[in-house]
């Protein structure tokens, strides 16, 4: 069953939940996914991050046997998604971007039907549906038709339906898009809890914060290609500079402080208009902070606040892809961005 592995490492099948290499999918002349490689170790939360239309959903659909790759290969726990699709389906749960539950039926009916399809007996299916509804806080709404469900309830039901067979690998396609912050936080808790029980989660998101919060590793996808891959910290570090932020106690010291810092670091500082006492300096090496602090003490400047921050994922994303996350939705993109959007 080891065919399809052309990787340097030859791990046993249990180690890797997903191994994909050179995945390609074209729709007409549009290359939605362009040679994507993904390797996801079992037991982790893996985030696929990218803007709308980057190819996240198409990639997931290929890994979940919903779409046939035009080129490349992928295995789920060592099973080929094309040749052993029926085995792969026994190992995965898929929660789609648009809730994949039956609108015309009630929550209980949905879960019972999915349970029955997965081979549970009549009584077992009913029990399982009850348990899942309880666990996802849907018991009260169990009998109502889904038409009256809120977006959050629908997502929860969707996730519950994906968990019936307790699949070792879960695909979550933008699990929190369109949810309010509270429901989003609940969803995050649920996902974290799932991983603790031994599940592997591959999720896509366009929210950097979400990837930051949840994912152990991240692949940044842009225009069908993996633009960067690594742990959150690695990605942040790859962007290079951290930033030193500090605030002086006495606003009168601001000018002295600024001049001192500029002299030590040899750069021009940006100063915020509203708060002159607050300043931010890009640094490549955290060690220089000591020099800055020593110099400030010599000048007798007292500090109210100091912190060294790694760049946010937003900054990482901007650096990696060369454009912002929401550009295709923003109403007035700059000229250069417009040109890029057009080429997508």
Partner 1 sequence: MRTTSVTSIKPGAERELKNYTSFGQTIRNSLTMAYRGLLKIRRTPEQLFDVTLQPIIFTLMFTYIFGGAISGDIGSYLPVIIPGILVQTVITTSIVTGVQLREDMDKGVFDRFKSLPIARIAPLAGALLADTVRYTIATVLTFTMGYIMGYRPEGGLEHVALAGILVIVCAWAISWIFAFFGVIARTASSVQGISMLVLFPLTFLSNAFVPVDTMPNWLQWFVNINPVSHLVTAVRDLANTGHVGWDLGISLIGAAVIVAIFAPITVRAYMRRT
**Positions in the binding site for partner 1 (CB under 8 A):** 12-14, 17, 42, 61, 64-67, 76-77, 79, 84-87, 89-94, 96, 98-105, 109, 113-114, 116-119, 134-137, 145, 156, 161, 163, 166-169, 186-187, 189-190, 193-194, 197-199
Nearer to partner 1, 48 or 169 (CB): 169
**159 or 239: CB nearest partner 1:** 159
Exposed e or buried b per residue across 120-143, where buried means at least 16 C-beta atoms within 10 angstroms of its C-beta: beeeebbebbeebbeebebeebbe
Task: Indicate the residue among 114 and 317 with the shorter CB distance to partner 1.
Answer: 114
Pairing of strands 16-27, 71-76: antiparallel
Give me the least distance between CB of 204 and partner 1, in Å please.
Answer: 15
Q: How far is the CB of 213 from partner 1 (least distance, A)?
A: 16
- Shortest distance, CB of residue 176 to partner 1, whole angstroms? 12
Q: What's the rounded Cα separation, in Å, for the pair 310 and 74?
A: 34
Find the shortest distance in angstroms from Cβ 242 to partner 1: 36
- Judged by beta carbon, residue 62 or residue 292, the one nearer partner 1 is 62
Q: What are the backbone angles phi and psi of residue 324, rounded to the nearest 5°?
A: -75, 170
Q: Which positions ≥6 away from 287 have C-beta within 8 Å? A: none
* SS3 category, 282: strand
Min. distance of Cβ 148 from partner 1 in angstroms?
13
Task: State the number of CA atoms in the 13 A half-sphere of 308 facing the CB.
Answer: 12
Shortest distance in whole angstroms from residue 164 CB to partner 1: 9
Residues 246, 203 contacting (CB under 8 angstroms): no
Q: Which is nearer to partner 1, 3 or 98 (CB)?
A: 98
In the bound complex, what is the minimum distance in angstroms from residue 221's beta carbon to partner 1? 19
Closer CB to partner 1, residue 77 or residue 207?
77
Helix (H, G, I), strand (E, B) or coil at 289: helix
DSSP 280: E
331 vs 321: CA distance, rounded Å: 20
CB neighbours (10 Å) of residue 162? 22
* Alpha-carbon distances, residue 225 vs 58, 71, 174, 210, 211 (angstroms): 12, 14, 18, 21, 18
Please identify, using beta-carbon distances, which residue of 53 and 230 lies nearer to partner 1.
53
């Amino acid at each position: 069953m080891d065919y399809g592995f052309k990787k340097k490492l030859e791990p046993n099948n249990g180690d890797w939940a997903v191994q994909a290499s050179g995945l390609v999918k074209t729709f007409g002349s549009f290359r939605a996914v362009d040679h994507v490689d993904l390797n996801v170790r079992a037991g982790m939360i893996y985030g696929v991050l990218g803007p709308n239309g980057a190819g996240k959903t198409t990639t997931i659909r290929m890994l979940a046997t919903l779409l046939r790759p035009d080129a490349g290969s992928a295995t789920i726990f060592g099973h080929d998604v094309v040749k052993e699709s029926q085995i792969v389906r026994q190992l995965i749960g898929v929660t789609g971007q648009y809730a994949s539950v039956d609108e015309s039926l009630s929550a209980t009916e949905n879960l019972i039907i999915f349970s029955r399809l997965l081979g549970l007996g009549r009584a077992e299916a009913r029990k399982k549906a009850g348990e899942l509804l309880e666990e996802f806080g849907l018991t009260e709404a169990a009998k109502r038709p889904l038409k009256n469900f809120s977006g959050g309830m629908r997502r929860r039901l969707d996730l519950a339906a994906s968990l019936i067979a307790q699949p070792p690998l879960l695909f979550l396609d933008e699990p929190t898009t369109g949810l309010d912050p509270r429901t989003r936080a609940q969803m995050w808790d649920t996902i974290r809890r799932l991983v603790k029980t031994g599940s592997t989660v591959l999720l896509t998101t366009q929210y950097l914060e979400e990837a930051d919060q949840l994912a152990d590793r991240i692949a940044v996808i842009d225009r069908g290609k993996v633009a960067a891959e690594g742990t959150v910290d690695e990605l942040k570090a790859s962007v290079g500079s951290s930033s030193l932020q500090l605030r002086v106690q006495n606003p009168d010291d601001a000018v002295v402080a600024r001049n001192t810092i500029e002299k030590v670091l040899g750069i021009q500082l940006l100063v915020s208009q509203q708060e002159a006492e607050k300043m931010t300096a890009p640094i490549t090496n955290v060690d220089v902070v000591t020099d800055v602090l020593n110099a400030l003490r010599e000048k007798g400047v007292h500090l109210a606040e100091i912190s060294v921050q790694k760049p946010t994922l937003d900054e990482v994303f901007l650096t990696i892809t060369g454009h912002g996350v929401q550009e295709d939705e923003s109403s007035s993109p700059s000229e250069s961005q417009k040109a890029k959007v057009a080429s997508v």
